[in-house]
Amino acid sequence: MTTPLLSIKGLQKSYGGKKMVLKGMDAEIFHGEFIVVIGPSGAGKSTFIRCINRMVDPSEGELLFDGQDLAKLKGKKLRVARSKVGMIFQHYNLIGRTNVIKNVLHGRLGQIPFYKSALGLYTSEEKSMAFHLLTKLGLGEHIYKKASALSGGQMQRVGIARAMMQQPKLLLADEPIASLDPKSAQVVMDQIHAITKENNLTCIMNLHQVEVAKNYATRIIGIKDGKIVYDDVPAKLTNEMIDYIYEGKEEEMGQPATGVEPVKGEFSYGA
Amino acid sequence: MERSIPLSVEKKAKTYLNLGLLMAVVLFCFLYLNVNVGDIVTALPNLVGFLVDNFMPPNFTNLGVYMGAVMDTILFAIVGTYISAFLAFTFGILMSEAMMPNPWVRGLVRFFISFLRNIPVLIWASLLIFVFGIGNMVGLIALILATVGFLSRSYAESINEIAGSKLESLRASGAGWWQILFHGLIPEFIPSWMNWTLFSFEINIRASAILGTVGAGGLGILIQTNLNMRNFTEAAALIVILVAMVLLTEAAVSLLRKRLSIGGH
Ligand SMILES: Nc1ncnc2c1ncn2[C@@H]1O[C@H](COP(=O)(O)OP(=O)(O)OP(=O)(O)O)[C@@H](O)[C@H]1O
Ligand SMILES: [Mg+2]
């Protein structure tokens, strides 16, 4: 048995000492997994994923990653650890008035000192890496456009490039396709899937659409009311289990009509 | 099964009650302050007569002197707004939850700024005259104090809005405070920074004209002295110039806004 990349032990969170949002979660994440987290709105999916890179501070528990407990890190050490975890956001969170290639280079900020980034002293390797990522994601001709001038799908691809620019050991994605039309959603899902597969990168992603989750994931984690109630391969996710996870919130399961499925190609898992 | 659909679920009675209360408050104010509406109406013809007899036609013989004062007034507003914009940016950051995690610093700066903001510019000028004596310096400092008070809070609100969402990505990539400020906040803040600053410039043009009335230089001091010396036609000329100046700067600012294409608030 290999050692896990990330081991989550007894993770708890309550915002401001009020009601518990995460009620003790345990999970071991292994190298190369593509994990999709599902669950109804308010179940704690975003809180769970944000605790991992400490965008939200956990109240209790351990996050063993790369030989250290992320939950205990502070200041500079926390920033160094964060720089090894890429994140993709629902609303892309690009700096709209800055051009595309600089947005991608922002992925390096955690790994270079302020004076270098401020003076634009990125190495030529860094610059060509940014360029190649953008070209690969089909944005080669837009690198000098303001980020705000792009379409939603294009913005999210810049978000992917920025996260990859970190050369992360782990990729987090919080509802990366929730703001996109079905066609762009398909493109973005395929690109995240392909790029993680190609780099043998571990990914944890929150999704609303159960069907999409089943199509891409190697493992699905179902969260209900702050607890992990399902943690296994997609094939074993029965309709009864789905009904249980979304009990009382059935309308949120997401329409399979959007039909986002992986392209069957060299990068896809046999779904 | 036709049924008439009400356009509002609020009760008519409640609306009338509110209206009645409002009238009562206004009435009370007039009675308490001993203001007689009749007096105001009957005095109106006298006022117009007085203005026409004494102030017409405006006397522009000293135009050269006046233009110097106009220049002073505009330069005050420009320099005052400029300096305030930089000071207020610093205070705005220190006041914003997103950029300043230490609640003590935040609270202290917040208190200081609301102190500045809640004292009107004319009061500041009157106070400062005791320190610096009559002159241009007082006007400028008063303007800066009031503007910093106003701008810091407006900036802090915009900064919080930006930092709450967009800067998350930089934080997640491990960027430090200065990197977040420089690569994220400043570029995103520029449009609202220009918007608020131009807005306060318009306010400052008017403020800087009025500051003279307490002896703090500019166009206002000329209006004040001419009124005191009963040089009404010259005062009239100065007032005409003041109005023209305000209208022109407003036009210039809205032109600038269009150029920068940042729109209104
Ligand atoms: N910053 C916060 N302060 C206080 N409460 C919060 C905060 N963020 C989330 N919560 C609460 O925590 C609970 C879980 O929220 P979370 O965002 O993790 O859910 P989610 O599963 O991601 O939901 P969604 O599918 O709607 O994104 C909710 O009840 C929410 O109101
Ligand atoms: Mg969420």
The verdict on residue B147 lying in a domain is: yes
For residues A265 and A190, state if they share a domain. Answer: yes
The verdict on residue B52 lying in a domain is: no
| Confidence band, pLDDT 50/70/90 cuts, at residue A270 | very low
The verdict on residue B37 lying in a domain is: no
For residues A270 and A200, state if they share a domain. Answer: yes
Q: What is the rounded average pLDDT of the residues B42-54?
A: 76
For residues A224 and A240, state if they share a domain. Answer: yes
Side chain identity, residue A201: L
- Kindly report the CATH number assigned to the domain that includes residue B157: 1.10.3720.10
The verdict on residue B5 lying in a domain is: no
Question: In angstroms, what is the C-alpha Rg of chain B?
Answer: 25
- Residue A30's beta-bridge partner residues? none
Give pLDDT tens digits for A107-166: 999 999 998 888 888 898 999 999 999 998 988 898 899 998 999 889 999 999 999 999
For residues A265 and A146, state if they share a domain. Answer: no
How many Å lie between the alpha carbon of A77 and the closest alpha carbon of chain B?
A: 10
**What's the total number of domains in chain A?**
2
For residues A107 and A141, state if they share a domain. Answer: yes
For residue B135, what are its two tokens? 């002159």
For residues A134 and A194, state if they share a domain. Answer: no
Give pLDDT tens digits for A66-114: 889 988 888 889 999 999 999 999 999 999 889 999 999 999 999 999 9
The verdict on residue B15 lying in a domain is: no
**What's the total number of domains in chain B?**
1
Helix H, strand E, coil C: the string for B32-74 is: HCCCCHHHHHHHHHHHHHHHHHHHCCCCCCCHHHHHHHHHHHH
Structural domain range at position A130: 92-167
The verdict on residue A44 lying in a domain is: yes
For residues A120 and A190, state if they share a domain. Answer: no
Residue nearest to atom 7 of ligand 1 (CA): A15
> Taking the CB of residue A74, how many other CB atoms lie within 10 A of it?
8
For residues A209 and A150, state if they share a domain. Answer: no
**Chain B residues within 8 Å of chain A (Cβ atoms):** 165-176, 178-179, 182-184, 187-188, 190-191
The verdict on residue A174 lying in a domain is: no
For residue B171, which residues of chain A lie inside 8 Å, CB to CB? 55, 82
The secondary structure element, H or E, covering residue B130 is helix B121-132
> Taking the CB of residue A237, how many other CB atoms lie within 10 A of it?
19
Give pLDDT tens digits for A162-219: 999 999 999 999 999 988 888 889 999 999 999 999 999 999 999 988 889 999 999 9
Instruction: Give me ligand 1 centre to Cα A23, in Å.
Output: 13
For residues A79 and A99, state if they share a domain. Answer: no
For residues A80 and A197, state if they share a domain. Answer: yes
Q: Is the Cβ pair A81, B174 closer than 8 Å?
A: yes
Structural domain range at position B86: 63-260
Per-residue confidence (pLDDT) for residue B135, from 0 to 100 = 72
For residues A73 and A98, state if they share a domain. Answer: no
Residues near ligand 1 (Cβ within 6 A): A 15, 21, 39, 41-47
Taking the C-alpha atoms of residue B254 and residue B261, their distance in angstroms, rounded to an integer, is 10
Atom of ligand 1 nearest to the CA of A226: 14
pTM metric for this prediction: 0.80
For residues A162 and A195, state if they share a domain. Answer: no
**Ordered alpha helix ranges (H), A1-74:** 45-52
| Confidence band, pLDDT 50/70/90 cuts, at residue B1 | low
- Which of A111, A136, A167 is the last residue in one of the domains? A167
